[in-house]
Structure 1
Amino acid sequence: MGRKRRPTAAGAVVLQGQGEDAQVLVIHRPRYDDWSLPKGKLEPDEDAQVAAVREVEEETGLKVRLRVPLGRAEYIAKGAPKSVLWWVGTVVGGRIHPPVTTTKTNGKSNGKGKNGDVEVDRVEWWTPKQAAAKLSYTDDREMVERALATVPGHTVLLVRHAKAVQRKHWSGKDWKRPLSQRGRRQARRLAKLLEAYGVTQPITSSSTRCVQTLQPFAERTGLELVTMDELSEEVFEDDPGVSKRAMVDLLNQAHTQPGAPMAICGHRPLLPMMRGLLGLGDKPMLVGETLVVHHDDQGNQVAVERIPSAF
């Protein structure tokens, strides 16, 4: 089977409440006179996860974080294949704003209609029954059904540090080896990705290359990085048990705080141990790569997303 094409759009099924109290966020677009879920096109060089969060905020005014992935919807529009990636979304801020009008950026249309058109004129919370009956598209109704079947749990993001200066080109102590220019670029892009998942616990090895990998995220969000010597190569080489116990403690902490997604940045020698404790396979991680591991409320793994760096 060939590699799936890059998605053209991304969106989120935004939920609030559970069980009989559950509600789904929907939008009305007067241009099409339809009721649908918030979604939109990816910008050039943008991760789908970041696009999903951005589009929800642009169309509704609500800031969300992503939870479990719901899969891909594919269809034909105006004779061209379209592909949309979906996630469950949880509101973390913002407020529903007045109707959204189409604007131009740098003199160019954003592609959603003529300049000044009303893109979204109504944003509402519907019950699952309303969504099943009134959403205009089959794909949207299917995604809502999938989202309602998910069980909220905790999320852990395992990050391999971005590209560092090569050892042969560094004369100082290895733990002080910094990121390369490419690595700094990877770290800046990673910051938006971690924010899309609502990471509130950024944790890293105390080595410079790991700290610098998460530093742009910390600066973007105002969160404080937690640095741990126990996750460094030096401590792991001296006593692997120390590093393993530290990782176990972190995963237990993540499980007890489902509303606080955790990102852990580590090194190649430790990654097999880290992946093993997360119940992942043996496939090596590339520099700047992130594995997003989703769990249910019992701690069972329900989904894993592999997100390689674009650079």
Structure 2
Amino acid sequence: MNHAEETPVQAAGCVLWRRSPVDGELEVCLVHRPKYDDWSWPKGKLKRDEDPLTGALREVEEETGYQASPGARLPEMNYLAHGRPKQVRYWAAEATTGTFVPNHEVDRILWLSPTAARNRLTQPRDRTLVDALLLALHLT
């Protein structure tokens, strides 16, 4: 079977943001996954018949410890992961309450300025979401 015929793995996530408690500037949250040793947006596979936005918010809470208020829909990403097509839907989401506790999936999170986040993200394709967030928040 070729990849074009395979049903993509469905996943969802958020570009989690907040205003810095220090200077009020915009910060976004990146997660570090020890299994892949990478920095990425909080995201994960959807459960069977799970609504993508519900799944995105669940993954954010599981990976970062934060509850979030969803905002604008951001561009989706389509790529091959471990030889299978994967579709990840993203939303902008403002962190509301929560505290990060390291777990087996995510051992660290960073709150970074958009520029620092763009430089820290492991996958170049993830960087487009920084610009998409700034556009959605009318900061460009």
Work out the CA distance in 1 between the residues paired with 2:35 and 2:8: 26
Structure 1 position 81, deviation (Å): 0.5
Q: Find the residue that maps to 1:57 and give its secondary structure.
A: helix
Amino acid at match of 2:96: V
Number of residue pairs matched? 129
Please list, as runs of the form range in 1=range in 2, the aligned pairs for 1:209-224 lying within 5 A after superposition: none
Say whether the 8 Å CA contact 2:14–2:41 is kept in structure 1: yes
1:12–1:88 Cα contact (<8 Å) kept: yes
Q: Which has the higher helix share?
A: 1
Between the aligned partners of 1:138 and 1:73, the Cα distance in structure 2 is 12
Q: Residues of 2 paired with 1:89 and 1:36: CA distance? A: 15
Aligned to 2:136: 150
Structure with the larger RCO, 1 or 2 (CA within 8 Å, 6+ apart):
2
Matched, 1:59 2:45: no
TM-score normalized with structure 1 length: 0.40
Q: Tell me the secondary structure at the aligned position of residue 136 of structure 2.
A: coil
Spell out structure 1 runs of 4+ moving beyond 4 A.
none
What's the Cα RMSD here?
A: 1.8
User: Residues 90-134 of structure 1: CA distance to partner in whole angstroms, max 9, x if unpaired?
Assistant: 11222222x112xxxxxxxxxxxxxxxxx1110110111111111
* Conservation of the 8 A alpha-carbon contact between 2:75 and 2:132: no
Q: Which runs of 5+ in 1 are unaligned?
A: 102-118, 153-311
Structure 2 gaps, min length 5: 1-6
Name which one, 1 or 2, has greater alpha-carbon Rg. Answer: 1
Question: Given the alignment of the two structures, is residue 134 of structure 1 paired with residue 91 of structure 2, yes or no?
Answer: no
1:133-212 to 2 correspondence within 5 Å?
A: 133-151=119-137
How is 1:107-126 mapped onto 2 (pairs within 5 angstroms)? 119-126=105-112
Shift in Å at residue 83 of structure 1? Answer: 0.3
Write the letter of the residue equivalent to 1:8: Q
**Match for residue 261 of structure 1?**
none
Q: Which of 74, 77, 82 lines up with 1:78 in the alignment?
A: 82
Q: Distance in 2 between matches of 1:25 and 1:71?
A: 18
